[in-house]
């Protein structure tokens, strides 16, 4: 075999290796497909773990004889920790997808949303002593409930606007989807409350609220996961995610030149 033949063979092999390496690198950089199952698993775990902190903090404050303000403070601190854990779980579930989130900022705003939600949620029972027996009481309680369930998604929305998803997607959907998820999830706890009687023993009480709590976090994780898939499905399939500042990312349409009809002389 001549020297030129060997050199050409080596060059061809080197070119093929370079193409394979480039293809592998391109696939590694490409965003992965959103997994609803992965989201539900991580968010369910994050919610379940997060709820331990405000629950334990509130029980400890009550057992320690704290007044309403003291109980609120402990619950709010626990709620902020809960929000931070949930934010980490959500960001981890979305890593390497088209909706990758800034981890630290997302955890921070989710913790802030959890803090606000617990403050708003505890004010009526702690200070206003409202009851859902009068029209005025019902209206005020509903207003507080709306603010409580919307606090976290609104805070997260400000971050979503600055992500790749925010540049091409309708991230406002995240607010009603998340509010709906929390409303439906909390409904399981409300359904469990009438089952508690004066003579209910501690074992049955813990078991009842454990089941209700699991259904709550699973419901929230599932609905928010479907909402995230809804947002991603309406953008990723129809458009390519391009770098910020590019012409296509600003919504401009490519120009189409009309063919010039030929004339026959």
Question: Does residue 200 form part of some domain?
Answer: no
Domain membership of residue 104 (yes or no) is yes
pLDDT at position 17 is 58
The answer to whether position 212 is within a domain reads no
Q: Report pLDDT for 177.
A: 96
Whether 11 maps to a domain, the answer reads: no
Does the residue 152 lie in any domain? yes
- The predicted-structure confidence for 209-250, as pLDDT tens digits, reads as follows 899 999 999 999 999 999 999 888 744 343 444 444 444 444
Q: How many domains does the chain have?
A: 1
Long-range contact pairs involving 68-76 (C-beta distance under 8 Å, separation at least 24): 68/126, 68/127, 69/126, 71/122, 71/126, 72/118, 72/119, 72/122, 72/123, 72/126, 75/118, 75/122, 76/115, 76/118, 76/119, 76/122
Is 16 within the bounds of a domain?
no
Which stretches of the chain drop beneath a pLDDT of 50? 24-28, 234-252, 264-265
Asked if residue 97 lies in contact with residue 39, where contact means CB atoms within 8 angstroms, the answer is no
| Nearest alpha carbon to residue 103 among 119, 121, 85, 118 | 85
Whole-number pLDDT of residue 21: 53
Three-state secondary structure call for residue 97: strand
Which tokens hold the place of 25? 């690198």
- Look at residue 140 and tell me if it is in a domain: yes
Range of the domain at 152: 35-171
DSSP codes of every residue in 56-90: HHHHHHHHTT--HHHHHHHHHHHHHHHHHHHHHHH
Q: Specify if 148 maps to a domain.
A: yes
């Amino acid at each position: 075999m001549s020297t030129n033949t060997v050199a050409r063979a080596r060059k061809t092999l080197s070119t093929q290796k370079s193409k394979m390496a480039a293809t592998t690198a391109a696939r590694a950089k490409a965003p992965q497909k959103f997994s609803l199952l992965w989201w539900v698993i991580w968010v369910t775990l994050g919610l379940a773990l997060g709820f331990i902190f405000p629950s334990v903090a509130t029980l400890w404050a009550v057992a320690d004889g704290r007044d309403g303000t003291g109980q609120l403070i402990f619950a709010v601190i626990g709620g902020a920790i809960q929000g931070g854990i949930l934010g980490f779980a959500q960001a981890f579930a979305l890593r390497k997808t088209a909706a990758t989130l800034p981890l630290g900022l997302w955890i921070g705003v989710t913790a802030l949303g959890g803090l606000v939600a617990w403050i708003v949620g505890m004010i009526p029972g702690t200070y206003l002593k409202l009851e859902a027996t009068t029209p005025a009481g019902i209206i005020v309680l509903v207003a507080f409930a709306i603010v409580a369930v919307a606090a976290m998604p609104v805070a997260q929305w400000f971050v979503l606007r600055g992500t790749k998803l925010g540049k091409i997607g309708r991230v406002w959907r995240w607010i009603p989807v998340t509010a709906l998820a929390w409303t439906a999830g909390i409904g399981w706890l409300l359904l469990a409350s009438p089952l508690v009687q004066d003579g209910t023993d501690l074992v049955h009480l813990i078991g009842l609220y454990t089941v209700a709590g699991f259904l709550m976090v699973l419901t929230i994780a599932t609905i928010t996961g479907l909402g995230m898939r809804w947002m991603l499905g309406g953008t990723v399939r129809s458009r390519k995610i391009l770098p910020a500042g590019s012409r296509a990312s600003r919504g401009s349409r490519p120009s189409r030149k009309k063919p010039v009809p030929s004339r026959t002389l």
